[in-house]
Amino acid sequence: METNERLGSKIRSSEVKVGVIGLGYVGLPLARAFAEQGIAVLGFDVDAAKVARLGRGESYIGHISADVIGRMRARGFEATTDFSRLDEPDVVIICVPTPLTDAREPDLSYVVDSARAIADRLRPGQLIVLESTTYPGTTREVLLPILSAAGPRPGVDFFLAFSPEREDPGNPDFSAPSIPKVVGGLDPASLDLAAALYGKIVVRVVPVSTLEVAEACKILENTYRAVNIALVNELKMLYDRMGVDVWEVIEAAKSKPFGFQAFYPGPGLGGHCIPIDPFYLT
């Protein structure tokens, strides 16, 4: 049996073991989604304090309670700082930060460090998925050379995909399982495996033709939000000077059934990703 067939069989039977690197506001909810479907999860983080808290059944994320952590642990979830265990999972998902440098350039150091740690322990048949927001081309041009440097063949010995995270922390209407998941693969086998994996935990998988399309998708989503949030904040100040109620204006504009989506004034651009992501295109 080919390596992709063996992994596919594990995914279909839920006997697959998933590793998640980065147990922050993206990685921990993702680990929760897999654990709730009875899939074994091994979480990796460099922050020993986080790992210790999870080991005690505590949470450090507001919308994930200690009870949820307790249920995850009861279903086999484990967190560790020991990256030498990266050969244990069948799938490794990278959910690490991708901030900007002082020069407003992408800082991929966390992604690169994760890829090198995986490469050191890479075994035949593993699927590697990047979820961290980044510019189109990162998975192919940065991760792939690191993972294949020692000789393993992509699409044969290991598989590679990108699926942008879509977490909206604090939003009670959406959680990881209820948000459609965009997935792009290096090759057809990688795409099929990643789509099958996420199909176990999300309402709908949206396969796309390339890694780059999946990477660009997240940049488009957050650039759209950044532009429109900034615009409505500017309009509020303008309308205030004109004596016009911006809230009433927005409510009136919402009545249009096409070509308009309501955005509301608020502090800053919101969140972590929205102010950062557009700069990945510069």
Please give the structure tokens belonging to residue 127: 């699927």
**116 neighbors 146 (Cβ within 8 angstroms):** yes
Q: If we measure between CA atoms, which residue out of 132, 128, 121 comes closest to residue 144?
A: 128
| Amino acid symbol at 72 | M
DSSP the chain: --HHHHHHHHHHTT--EEEEE--STTHHHHHHHHHHTT-EEEEE-S-HHHHHHHHTT---STTS-HHHHHHHHHTT-EEES-GGGGGS-SEEEE-----B-TTS-B--HHHHHHHHHHHHH--TTEEEEE-S---TTHIIIIIHHHHHTTSPPBTTTEEEEE------TT-TT--GGGS-EEEEESSHHHHHHHHHHHHTTSS-EEE-S-HHHHHHHHHHHHHHHHHHHHHHHHHHHHHHHHT--HHHHHHHHTT-SSS-------SSS-SSSTTTGGGGG-
Catalytic residue among 273, 276, 278, 280: 273
Q: Is 217 a catalytic residue?
A: no
Specify whether the backbone of 94 is left (phi greater than 0), alpha (psi in -120 to 50) or beta. Answer: beta
Known catalytic residues are 273
